[in-house]
Chains A and B, each alone.
Chain A
Amino acid sequence: MTSVTAQDRTTAFDAAVAADERIEPRDWMPDAYRATLVRQIAQHAHSEIIGMQPEANWISRAPSLRRKAILIAKVQDEAGHGLYLYGAAETLGTGRDELLDKLHSGRQKYSSIFNYPTLTWADVGAIGWLVDGAAITNQVPLCRCSYGPYARAMVRICKEESFHQRQGYESLLTLSRGTPAQHEMAQDAVNRWWWPSLMMFGPPDDESAHSAQSMAWKIKRHSNDELRQRFVDICVPQAETLGLTLPDPELKWNEDRRHYDFGPIDWQEFHEVLKGNGPCNEQRITQRRRAHDEGAWVREAAAAYAAKHDTARQTAQTAQTAQTGQATQTGQGTQAEQAARAEQSRQAGQPGQAVQAGLTSRPAQTTAAGEATA
């Protein structure tokens, strides 16, 4: 009986993925699918959080108040994106504390790119243009990932990230067209960030351990090499407009392939940085751990206060509203989105179509993808 059920479930899961339907948290899913997602979403979330550091390094020295505001907003977004992603991982049954613990103890990784230092102000621009550009190239297809909560988090993230890349490009352009010293600063930054950015797409397809299965599950939609090529093709003309040179003498248009050819990537460096031997591996994780450890008393205090004042239990019975009075929700369970549907349908007298549009269709996806690649 059970084996038949398991077989049925596998068939239903495969059919849903094949039909491009989304898998939702309470659906049955293969253990390996769940594990792959947790690993990937966690790594993605960790990258957002660690990725705050190299840029935050320049907040206190931002050379104009306009740039300072932009940079604070950008680093703040990264914290927000980390939160969206930890939330998505949490729907798979793995809590944030557990994931942070794995990050802090080195059992889970973050993108190696953040193990490189930001040595000058121009690095902030180069990160925006190249690192966020590469991230967006990777992330836009994830808006159609087969796992619903991850796809929805990515839609939100891609929408918000479109400003990250543009501000970086604008900043580099200003530097490139500025004083000779500023131009040199910009070129130096591009020299240092170009190759690590290409490595962000991961190892070549024939060496990528998880790619094939992830593509079959539609967690991943394009191969590493395919995305890397797309990124190179986008960047070359953008560099020309910037008046900056990409540090690759072999970079040239190939009329037959209709793509740019580029030189060999130093995969040994990639693996060294991955292993922990990059310039900032130790520093990044130490700072993250310190922030977490030094914040423990604050988190404990808030938890103790809540327990004392018992607000948590009260609010399990009464949902708070910010502006519109109070709504009542009762019951138990974990899956919020289905409850949201129930909640929506209970609300008689609301414009039903608008409700449906908000909940079930995803016009935002195409918007996000469009904006992100604009």
Chain B
Amino acid sequence: MTGPTTDAPAVTAAALALGDDALVLSHRLGEWAGHAPVLEEEVALANIALDLLGQARILLSRVGDEDELAYLREERAFRNLQLVEQPGGDFAHTIARQLYFSTYQAFLYAELARTEGPFTALATKAVKEVDYHRDHAEQWTLRLGDGTVESHTRMQRAVDALWRYTGEMFQPIDGLTATHGTDWAALQASWDESIGETLRGATLTLPETPRSGAWTAGAGRQGLHTEPFGRMLAEMQHLHRSHPGASW
């Protein structure tokens, strides 16, 4: 991988935030391997995990050594959204998490690709991947929401449960605001409209519960995470940390 660039600190912090989102979500999706509800979905989920891992590697390499960053940072040093670290739960939770995140990523990366700045090249490539992830999530949201009584119940439960992690997505990342001029209010408006439409199409109800509070607003981006994340990192980092200095 290429070495870190001499980005301004705010840009480095932005790369870390976006990179950690992709890294952590790809890890969560990788947990489905061998457990997916149907074989075709094994292939689909792995594709998305691989796209995200690819994005993570590019972004982290911009900041430093990708493996040092992934395997040797403590929990508090990760800058990912709390949303992406939430455990997979049932397939409905995974799809709800994908729907919320990929819609966010799709709008954000489209904006980054359209504007001139440090993330234009990355976003231009990634936006094609992300559009597909979003489509995958929307297709499944429709089928689970408007499928059977059981699937509807499960999907509504998942959409509700993860709603409280969605407010954090629109807390400005300064490095993006300063360089790409990202309009976070506009991003949220687009996201709200798109999610509202998808949920309505899927006969699901848009949650009305709070989507940010003292605890969740911007917490992941500031290094404050949820309980499952520490356990996830323990598993992810264990082998690498057991052999200091080794190459793999």
Contacts and interface: CB of A to CB of B under 8 A. Distances in A.
Q: Classify A-B as touching or not with yes or no (CB < 8 A).
A: yes
Interface of A: 49, 52-53, 56, 59-69, 72-73, 75-76, 79-80, 82-83, 86, 121, 171, 174-175, 178-179, 181-182, 287, 290-291, 294-305, 308
B53 interface: yes
Interface in B20-47: 23, 27, 30-31, 33-43, 46-47
B57 A63 contact: no
B96 interface: no
Contact of B70 (A59, A61, A65): A65
Nearest to A300: B148
Given A69-B57, A305-B147, 13 more contacts: A60-B30, A61-B235, A64-B240, A64-B248, A69-B54, A83-B40, A181-B243, A297-B150, A297-B154, A298-B37, A298-B144, A299-B38, A301-B143
Contacts of B13: none
Contacts of A52: 33-34, 42
Contacts of A68: 30, 53
B246 interface: yes
B84 interface: no
B52 to A, nearest CB: 10
A35 B54 CA distance: 44
Contacts of A179: 243, 245-246
Nearest to B37: A295
A182 B80 CA distance: 32
A68 B54 CA distance: 11
Contacts of B40: 83
Contacts of A303: 147
Given A59-B33, A72-B50, A73-B50, A297 B238 contact: no
B50 A76 contact: yes
A52 B90 CA distance: 20
A291 B240 contact: no
B43 A76 contact: yes
B209 interface: no
Contacts of B143: 301-302, 305
Contacts of B43: 76, 79-80, 83
Counting from the closest, the 4 A-B pairs by CB-CB distance are A295-B37, A301-B147, A301-B151, A76-B46
A87 to B, nearest CB: 11
Nearest to B28: A60
27 contacts: A52-B33, A52-B34, A52-B42, A56-B33, A59-B30, A60-B30, A61-B235, A61-B239, A63-B243, A63-B248, A64-B248, A66-B248, A67-B248, A72-B49, A72-B53, A76-B43, A79-B42, A174-B248, A178-B247, A290-B35, A291-B36, A294-B35, A297-B37, A297-B150, A298-B151, A301-B143, A301-B147
Contacts, number: 140
A76 B49 CA distance: 10
Contacts of B54: 69
B146 interface: yes
A65 B56 contact: yes
Contact of A60 (B56, B57, B70, B235): B235
Contact of A63 (B27, B71, B91): B71
A252 B142 CA distance: 62
Given A59-B33, A65-B56, A300-B147, A295 B38 contact: yes
**Residue from B34, B41, B238 whose CB has the most chain A CB atoms within 10 Å:** B34
Contact of B66 (A59, A65, A174): A65
A52 B243 CA distance: 26
A75 B36 contact: no
**Residue from A59, A73, A86 whose CB has the most chain B CB atoms within 10 Å:** A59
A121 B241 CA distance: 13
Contacts of A82: 39
Given A63-B248, A72-B46, A302 B147 contact: yes
B91 A298 contact: yes
Contacts of A295: 36-38, 41, 91
B31 A60 contact: yes
Contacts of A287: 34-35
Given A72-B46, A83-B43, A287-B35, A301 B53 contact: no
B161 interface: no
B45 to A, nearest CB: 9
A53 B50 CA distance: 18
A16 B43 CA distance: 37
Given A56-B34, A68-B30, A291-B35, A63 B147 contact: no
Interface in B128-152: 142-144, 146-148, 150-151
Nearest to A82: B39
A35 B144 CA distance: 38
